[in-house]
Amino acid sequence: MKIKLWTIQHEKAYHKFIQTGIWRADPSYSIFDEEFRDAYDWLASQMDMRIGSRPEGVKYPMWAWYQWEGERKRCDLRCGGYAKRGTQMVQVAFEIDDSQVVLSDFDGWHFVLSNSYLAVDEQDFNSFYEKLESGGFTHCDIINFEKKDALLEKCRDKIRMSWDRIFDLDRYTLDWDCPPAQKSIQATFWELRKEQIKKVEFFFCKVMKGDGDVMPTNKQIHEFAVKYLNKYCKNTTSDHEVEEGFAEECFALNFVVDCGRSFTAAYPEANVFCDYAHLEYIIDDVTDVQLLGSAIFSEWRYITHWSVGESLLSNMHRPWFIIAFSRLAALTFEDKTELDMLREPVQKIRIVTNNIWRCPEPEDEVEQYLTMTADGYAWFSGFKYGKGFGKFECIRMQQVYLEKAKINQIFSVLFNYFTEVFDDILIKDIGSWEMTMTNTEGREFFFKSSLCVDYKAEGLYLSEMLRDALKIKDLFVFDGNKNWDKIERIAVNYHRITKSNPKGLQDENSHTETEDYTEQLTIDRESESIEHTQRINSEYAVSHKYQIKKAVLDFLDYFDSDTLFESIEGNPADAVEDPNESREYTITIDFRKKARRIIRGSYDKNGLPEDWPEFIEELSWVMRHYDFGEIFRPSVYYKEKRRASDYIFCSVAFADGGKTYYYLTEDDTIEIGDWVVVPAGKEDHTAIVEVVEIEYFSKDAAPFPIGKTKHIMKKCDEEDLD
Cα 23 from Cα 158, distance rounded (Å): 36
Work out the angle at residue 503's Cα, subtended by the Cα atoms of residues 498 and 505, and round it to the nearest 5 degrees: 90
CATH fold of 640-721 reads GIY-YIG endonuclease (3.40.1440)
- E strands of 107-219, at which residues? 185-189, 192-193, 197-204
Sorting pLDDT into bands at 50, 70 and 90, what band is 338?
very low
pLDDT of residue 212: 42
Average pLDDT for residues 360-380, to the nearest whole number? 92
Mean pLDDT of the chain: 86
Residue 534 predicted with pLDDT over 60: yes
Could you check whether 346-470 and 640-721 share the same CATH topology? Answer: no
505 contacts: CB under 8 Å, gap ≥ 6: 511
601 vs 502 pLDDT, higher one:
601
Average pLDDT for residues 529-544, to the nearest whole number? 92
Report pLDDT digits (tens) over 21-43. 899 987 666 655 566 788 999 99
Nearest by Cα to 116 from 128, 104, 127: 128
Share of the chain above pLDDT 90, in %: 48
Residue 366 predicted with pLDDT over 60: yes
426 vs 493 pLDDT, higher one:
493
Going by the DSSP 8-state scheme, the letter that residue 707 receives in this structure is G
509 vs 96 pLDDT, higher one:
96
The DSSP-derived string for 622-656 is HHHHTSS-STT-HHHHTPPPPPTT-EEEEEEESST
Residue 431 predicted with pLDDT over 90: no
337 vs 651 pLDDT, higher one:
651
Cα 88 from Cα 480, distance rounded (Å): 56
Cα 25 from Cα 14, distance rounded (Å): 11
Sheet holding 365-373: strands in order across?
A: 393-401, 377-384, 365-373, 346-354, 432-439, 444-450
Contact between residue 424 and residue 447 where contact means Cβ atoms under 8 Å apart: yes
Cα 640 from Cα 595, distance rounded (Å): 56
- E strands of 476-580, at which residues? 487-500, 513-524, 529-536, 540-547
- Determine which of 49-53, 473-477, 654-658 has the lowest per-residue pLDDT on average: 654-658
718 vs 562 pLDDT, higher one:
562
Going by the DSSP 8-state scheme, the letter that residue 706 receives in this structure is G
Residue 309 predicted with pLDDT over 70: no
List the domain boundaries for the chain: 2-204, 218-331, 346-470, 487-625, 640-721
Average pLDDT for residues 230-238, to the nearest whole number? 90
Question: Cα-flanking dihedrals φ and ψ of residue 20, to 5°?
Answer: -95, -30
pLDDT of residue 586: 97
pLDDT of residue 520: 97
Residue length, the chain? Answer: 722
Average pLDDT for residues 522-544, to the nearest whole number? 92
Cα 510 from Cα 464, distance rounded (Å): 61
412 contacts: CB under 8 Å, gap ≥ 6: none
pLDDT of residue 698: 93
- Determine which of 41-50, 102-111, 425-434 has the lowest per-residue pLDDT on average: 425-434
| Candidates 3.30.70, 3.40.1350, 3.30.1560, 2.40.10; CATH matching 346-470 | 3.30.1560
Report pLDDT digits (tens) over 664-715. 999 989 988 899 999 998 899 999 999 999 999 999 999 999 999 999 999 9
pTM recorded for the entire structure:
0.53
- Measuring CA to CA, how many Å separate 721 from each of 577, 652, 674, 675, 682? 47, 16, 11, 9, 23
